[in-house]
Amino acid sequence: MNALLKASQSPSRFALYMRVSTGRQAEKDLSIPDQEFQLENGVSQQGGVVTQKFTDTGSGTTGNRPELQRILSLVQSGQADFEVLLVHSFSRFFRNVYEALGFIHKLREHRIEIASLTQPVPPGPAGDMIRLFFMTFDEYQSAETAKHVARAMGENARQGYWGGGRTPFGFKTVQAGIRGNTIKKKLDIEPSEAGMVRLMVDLYLKGDGISGPMGCKRIAAWLNEHGHRNRYGSSWANGKIHRILTDTVLVGIYRHGHTKKDKEPILVSVPAILPLEDFDAVQCSLRARNPKTTPPRVVTGPILLTGLAKCGCCGAGMTMRTGKGGQYRYYICGNKLSKGVSTCSSKAIPMEDLDSLITDHVVRELLAPERMRSLLDALLKRQSAKADRNDETLAKMREKRDKADLRLRRLLEAVANGAIPPDDPSLKTMTSEAAAERDLAQSCIDRAAAETAPKALITDARLDAFVDLMRRNITHGKIDFRRAYLRAIIRQVQILPEGIKIFGNKPDVERAVLQFGNGDVLVPSFVPGWRRESPLHCTEFRHSISRL
């Protein structure tokens, strides 16, 4: 720093810049005070004066730091009351050579220099070269440290431990062991937050019993209106709801490193908050509601058959056209409406007539109790066959779990008996591998057992109640509520010159019957899969109804 002072004709005004990498380091209140103390001493020894101080918390690899940007703003506006920006070391300033050189150039445009207390450099080209060497080495060292930290955290995740940071909503950390002086932690369910997650899923799939299924925005509004707050006491927002509902940690799979696009995430088994079928239903519905794939009007519009009714002549979706100032409403081919009558020969259909025709046919034919019973019987037979096939798989997984558990107990007994020293370097690896293998096998067992668990007997009375519920909610109530039920059992209504065809999907109906039959609440907790991912010809049923 002495050489710089002489070259600058003994500058007397200094600004101090201090930085730590994380907020946790700042909270410990050690590094920042030490940097400040040493910088002030250095300025005092040179006979200078500290005019301004700046402190940042954040990575040195980027210039997106509030105080650093404030320095630049003061310099460029001519309000900087200093001649030298002093740092403890160049690594406190930047750990990215490209960003650092750009910032230095902007300072020099206003006759302000950068200096390091612990890495003094002479003025001129030689000093610039030495500074570049220091900064290049700092960047290399930062990259190497990040590489080794990522590797260690990856191994920690592979062993099933939590690597630190903010836990996913619905989870907390619990102590899982001690390695040396380090307390190892794992994720466990936080009951109060897990209850909130289940409430979100219920609102998304079923609604609150008054309205139909809700979207993320409506869920956030509903939670806020009913006094629910997040873990920080703040109001909910739709983006946060969406992140929670799409996180696989809800079904017991935490993805460590999922934000790194160039690497595969490490999957860590954790306790599950939701059953897999509920999570899958949410994801199917989210994809179907995605504005990039399905127009919002299909989900929220005021038309009962939006997204369902298709023109049988050209394949376009049927849309609404009004007549006499909105007094009359019709379904009309979208191509014909937007491109002209020459594009399609289909005719407009009164909306009220088509809505009534479709709902009456669905209620009378598709929701006949005998049809529902045959669908249910076929489903239960397939589930029984699947359970038989899975018995062998479950037996293998149980054997694998028991072997891993036995291996782990023998290792611990060997340590207790003195056969293996506690500080044996291979002990940690062997116990970790055995524990991870045991836990993973148990997780697979739990999930498979849940999927193949025998279903409760669905009585004729429950089946009749389901049919009554569906008939009532398809024909009465708000349009979006009726549409939610209708879309759960039919996938397409094809309007042809000679009549109408209704296409449905058996698994959708089967899930609806089975879920209600096992005592679930009387709202549409079933959600059809994304139509564009499930071709109609796969598991469809078809019904033709008479010409209009």
pLDDT higher than threshold 60 for residue 532: no
Tens of pLDDT, residues 179-188: 777 788 899 9
Of 130-139, 221-230, 249-258, 445-454, minimum mean pLDDT range: 445-454
Residue 219's pLDDT is 92
Which residue did the predictor score with more confidence, 388 or 277? 277
* Banded model confidence at residue 258, pLDDT cuts 50, 70, 90: low
Instruction: Give the residue from 285, 283, 337, 265 showing the smallest Cα distance to 487.
Output: 285
Give me the domains of the chain, ranges plus CATH numbers.
2-150 (3.40.50.1390), 189-274 (3.90.1750.20)
Instruction: Give the residue from 147, 163, 140 showing the smallest Cα distance to 61.
Output: 140
* 233 φψ region: left (φ > 0), alpha (ψ -120 to 50), beta (else): left
* Banded model confidence at residue 3, pLDDT cuts 50, 70, 90: very low
Report residue 117 as tokens. Answer: 């207390």
pLDDT higher than threshold 80 for residue 319: yes
Q: Residue 37: count other Cβ atoms within 10 Å of its Cβ.
A: 10
Residue 50's pLDDT is 92
Instruction: Give the residue from 123, 128, 271 showing the smallest Cα distance to 197.
Output: 271
Query: Quick one: how far is CA 246 from the chain centroid?
Result: 4
Of 200-204, 423-427, 435-439, 458-462, minimum mean pLDDT range: 458-462
pLDDT higher than threshold 90 for residue 392: no
Q: How far is CA 519 from CA 10, 376, 492, 506, in A?
A: 84, 15, 29, 20
Q: Residue 38, SS3?
A: helix
Q: How many angstroms separate the CA atoms of 368 and 360, rounded?
A: 12
Tens of pLDDT, residues 89-142: 888 888 888 888 888 899 999 999 999 998 888 888 888 888 888 888 888 887
Let me know: does 448 contact 455? Beta carbons within 8 Å. Answer: no
Beta pairing, strands 318-323 & 328-333: antiparallel
Residue with tokens 């081919």: 333
What is the side-by-side order of every strand in the sheet holding 349-350? 318-323, 328-333, 349-350
For residue 470, give the H/E element and its range: helix 460-475
Residue 444's pLDDT is 64
pLDDT higher than threshold 90 for residue 21: no
Query: Quick one: how far is CA 37 from the chain centroid?
Result: 44
Let me know: does 99 contact 72? Beta carbons within 8 Å. Answer: no
DSSP 8-state secondary structure symbol assigned to residue 208: S
Span 9-14, mean pLDDT?
A: 71
Amino acid at 230: N
Which range has the top average pLDDT, 169-178, 242-251, 279-288?
242-251
Instruction: Give the residue from 375, 374, 358, 353 showing the smallest Cα distance to 485.
Output: 358
Span 62-76, mean pLDDT?
A: 87
Residue 86's pLDDT is 92
Let me know: does 190 contact 231? Beta carbons within 8 Å. Answer: no
Span 409-416, mean pLDDT?
A: 84
The Cα angle at residue 50 between residues 45 and 55, in degrees rounded to 5: 115
Report residue 516 as tokens. Answer: 């209600």
Instruction: Give the residue from 129, 100, 99 showing the smallest Cα distance to 114.
Output: 100
Residue 244's pLDDT is 94
Q: Burial-class residue 24 by CB neighbours within 10 Å (0-12, 13-18, 19+).
A: exposed
Q: How many angstroms separate the CA atoms of 398 and 485, rounded?
A: 41
Which residue did the predictor score with more confidence, 542 or 226? 226
Which residue did the predictor score with more confidence, 238 or 1? 238
Let me know: does 502 contact 318? Beta carbons within 8 Å. Answer: no
Q: How many angstroms separate the CA atoms of 186 and 163, rounded?
A: 9
Q: How many angstroms separate the CA atoms of 251 and 5, rounded?
A: 62
Instruction: Give the residue from 273, 246, 258 showing the smallest Cα distance to 188.
Output: 273
Q: What is the pTM of this model?
A: 0.47
Tens of pLDDT, residues 455-498: 545 667 777 777 887 888 788 777 777 777 777 777 788 888 88
Q: How many angstroms separate the CA atoms of 446 and 437, rounded?
A: 14
For residue 173, give the H/E element and its range: strand 171-179
